Amino acid sequence: MSLIRLQKFLAEAGVCSRRAGEGLIRAGRVAVNGEVITQLGTKVDPNLDRIAVNGEPVAKVAKRVYIALNKPKGFVTSCSHPGEQVVLDLIDLPMRLFPIGRLDKDSIGLLLLTNDGRLHHQLSHPGFDHEKEYEVTLQRPISDAELRKMEQGVVLKGRKTRPAIVKRLSGRRFCIILQEGRNRQIRRMARLLGHQVSRLKRVRMANIRLGKLPPGAWRHLTGSEKADLLSALVDSPGKSNSCNR
Q: What confidence tens digit (pLDDT) does each residue in 49-75 have?
A: 899 999 988 876 567 889 999 999 999
Counting beta carbons within 10 angstroms of the beta carbon of residue 232, is it exposed (0 to 12), middle (13 to 18) or buried (19 or more)?
middle
Mean pLDDT value of segment 212-236: 82
Residue 14 has pLDDT above 80, yes or no: no
H or E stretch at 100: none
Domains annotated on the chain, with CATH? 4-57 (3.10.290.10), 63-245 (3.30.2350.10)
Q: Name the pairing type of β-strands 197-205 and 108-114.
A: parallel
CA pair distance 9, 230, nearest whole angstrom: 20
Q: What pLDDT is recorded for position 203? A: 98
pLDDT score, position 239: 47
Strand partners, 108: 201
Please write down the long-range contacts of 61-65, taking CB distance under 8 Å and 24 or more positions apart: 61/12, 61/13, 62/13, 62/14, 62/95, 62/115, 63/95, 63/115, 64/14, 64/114, 64/115, 64/116, 65/14, 65/93, 65/95, 65/97, 65/114, 65/115, 65/116, 65/220
Which of the residues are catalytic?
A: 104
Question: Using one digit for the tens of pLDDT, what is the confidence trace for 160-183?
Answer: 999 999 999 999 999 999 988 788
Residue scoring higher pLDDT (125 or 93) = 93
Look at residue 94 in the predicted model and tell me its pLDDT. Answer: 78
For position 244, what pLDDT does the model report?
59
Of the CA atoms within 13 Å of residue 181, those in its CB half-sphere come to 21
Instruction: Give me the pLDDT at residue 236, please.
Output: 47
Q: pLDDT averaged over the chain?
A: 87
What does the alpha-carbon distance between residue 169 and residue 124 come to, in Å, rounded to a whole number?
Answer: 28
**SS3 letters across 150-209:** HHHCCEECCEECCCCEEEECCCCEEEEEECCCCCCHHHHHHHHCCCCEEEEEEEEECCEE
Q: What is the pLDDT of residue 12?
A: 74
- Write down the pTM of the prediction: 0.74
Please count the CA atoms within 13 angstroms of the CA of 91 that sit on its side-chain side: 28
Three-state DSSP at 133 gives: strand
